[in-house]
């Protein structure tokens, strides 16, 4: 039987979706449907590691589902569902909490960033987040995960957990009829240049759902006027655009805007600079605003249509969850046996 590589990825419903989520994640998910078995999730259990209002959590869950579909994910090809509908994520994550070591978790830089000075007072869930992420991936024995560079450390931890599980339970794995490793060593999937969209106001920070300044973030549902206003007000520097990519070194905000232009138009940075190099920012920003509106508005319109009547998404999520469970349950049956749980 031919081996089909399996991809898992997810987005947290923890705020309005933005251009970074689109360019860094959603848009990259779409072509994988043709080459991989694809499972895309709204990771609502990850979202509640920090406080979420229940109405917003539901709204954002629907919004991500709508964005997936509007951007080109086909629910017949891809499994689309929200994480909490498949309880095995929580069960496997608990088992992984008992496999992962405290020292491994304490080294996670995203926890340090997110907890900041307040590490005594954040939820235990935030600390255990990478273990749940490992469960998300390995529950389906996923072989590849398309993630941004910020998630690379968590993926490394997923590999460590898989290796330790395979090692610790080696005998039982064999006794249960499995040859070799039980969990795969999941690879990070690089599809094209990793796009890291930065805040429009501060090129040292990534564009993020939880940024307090609305002007720093282009949201997927922003209308054309708002997109144009945000791009017009984006921070730049006093110099004109350079003619080659090397001229963007040390100019984080300029590099970000040119990078967004290149990504949205599927062109290289050098190609974009060939057109706009040595010009001032006015003409470039106006062209970027037109481009962003032309790419994002049709997606936003379809998202608005889909979220207006949640029934269509509910059907897709129920079907997706059933298909996800059909993969996860036999794997979990094996895991329970391997660990020694009586059923
Ligand atoms: N600025 C970004 N540029 C490129 N990719 C990005 N991603 C997020 N921000 C950017 C990618 O989007 C996917 C989903 O991310 P997530 O929602 O699971 O968590 P996140 O990375 O923590 O996203 P945010 O927007 O920064 O959320 P908050 O503020 O709630 O923490 C991932 O593949 C991520 O790489």
Measure the CA–CA gap between 273 and 66, rounded to whole angstroms: 34
Domain of residue 241 covers 224-305
Q: Are 218 and 200 in contact (CB under 8 A)?
A: yes
Dihedral class, residue 340 (left if φ above 0, else alpha if ψ from -120 to 50, else beta): left
Q: Assess whether 170 carries a catalytic annotation.
A: no
Catalytic residue among 114, 163, 164, 229: 114
The atom of ligand 1 lying closest to the CA of 146 is: 33
**pLDDT, the chain, mean:** 94
pLDDT in tens, 225-275: 999 999 999 999 999 999 999 999 999 999 999 999 999 999 999 999 999
DSSP 189-236: PP-SSPP-PBPSS-TTSB--TT-S-GGG--BTT--HHHHHHHHHTS--
Measure the CA–CA gap between 207 and 184, rounded to whole angstroms: 32
Q: What CATH code is carried by the domain that includes residue 271?
A: 1.10.240.10
Q: Is the beta carbon of 146 within 6 A of some atom in ligand 1?
A: no
Choose between 312 and 147: higher pLDDT.
312
The atom of ligand 1 lying closest to the CA of 210 is: 29
- Neighbouring-strand partners of residue 80: 40
Q: Do 152 and 38 fall within a single domain?
A: yes
Region 279-306: what's the mean pLDDT?
97
Q: Assess whether 114 carries a catalytic annotation.
A: yes
Q: Do 242 and 295 fall within a single domain?
A: yes
Q: Do 105 and 236 fall within a single domain?
A: no
Give phi and psi for 52, each to the nearest 5.
Answer: -130, 135
Is the dihedral angle over the CA atoms 25, 26, 31, 35 positive or is it negative? positive
Q: Are 135 and 96 in contact (CB under 8 A)?
A: yes
Q: What CATH code is carried by the domain that includes residue 68?
A: 3.40.50.620
Q: Do 133 and 188 fall within a single domain?
A: yes
Measure the CA–CA gap between 52 and 59, rounded to whole angstroms: 11
Ligand 1 pocket: which of 10, 16, 19, 25 to mutate (most atoms within 8 A of CB)? 25
Residue nearest to atom 23 of ligand 1 (CA): 208
pTM above 0.75, yes or no: yes
Q: Assess whether 206 carries a catalytic annotation.
A: yes
Q: Is the beta carbon of 206 within 6 A of some atom in ligand 1?
A: yes
- Other CB atoms closer than 10 Å to residue 298's CB: what's the count? 12
pLDDT of residue 119: 84
Region 89-99: what's the mean pLDDT?
98
Q: Is the beta carbon of 20 within 6 A of some atom in ligand 1?
A: yes
Confidence category of residue 102, pLDDT binned at 50, 70, 90 = very high
pLDDT exceeds 70 at position 293: yes
Measure the CA–CA gap between 128 and 115, rounded to whole angstroms: 12
The answer to whether position 172 is within a domain reads yes
The atom of ligand 1 lying closest to the CA of 151 is: 35
């Amino acid at each position: 039987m031919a081996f089909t590589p399996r991809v898992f990825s997810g987005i947290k419903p923890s705020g309005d979706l933005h251009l970074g989520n689109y360019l860094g994640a959603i848009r990259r998910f779409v072509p994988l449907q043709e080459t991989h078995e694809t499972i895309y999730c709204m990771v609502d259990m990850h979202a509640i590691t920090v406080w979420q209002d229940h109405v917003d959590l539901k709204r954002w869950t629907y919004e991500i589902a709508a964005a997936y579909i509007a951007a080109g994910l086909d629910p017949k090809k891809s499994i689309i569902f929200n994480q909490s509908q498949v309880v095995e994520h929580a069960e496997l994550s608990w088992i992984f909490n008992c496999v992962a070591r405290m020292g491994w978790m304490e080294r996670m830089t995203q926890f340090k960033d997110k907890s900041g000075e307040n590490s005594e007072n954040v939820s235990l869930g935030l600390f255990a987040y990478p273990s749940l992420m490992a469960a998300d991936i390995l529950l389906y024995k996923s072989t590849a995960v398309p993630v941004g560079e910020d998630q690379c450390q968590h993926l490394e931890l997923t590999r460590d957990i898989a290796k330790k599980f395979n090692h610790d339970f080696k005998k039982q794995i064999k006794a249960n009829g499995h040859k070799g490793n039980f969990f795969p060593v999941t690879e990070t999937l690089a599809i094209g240049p990793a796009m890291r969209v930065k805040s429009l106001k501060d090129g040292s920070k990534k564009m993020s759902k939880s940024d307090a300044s609305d002007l720093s973030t282009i949201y997927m549902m922003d209308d054309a006027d708002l997109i144009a206003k945000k791009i017009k007000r984006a921070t730049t520097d006093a110099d004109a655009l350079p003619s080659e990519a090397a001229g963007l070194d040390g100019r984080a905000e300029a590099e970000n805007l040119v990078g967004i232009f290149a990504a949205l138009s599927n062109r290289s940075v050098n190609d974009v600079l060939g057109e706009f190099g040595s010009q001032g920012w006015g003409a470039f920003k106006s062209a970027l605003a037109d481009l962003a509106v032309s790419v994002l508005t049709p997606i936003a319109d379809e998202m608005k249509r889909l979220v207006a009547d949640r029934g269509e998404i509910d059907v897709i999520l129920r079907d997706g969850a059933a298909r996800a469970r059909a993969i996860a349950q036999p794997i979990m049956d094996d895991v329970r046996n391997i660990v020694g749980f009586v059923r």
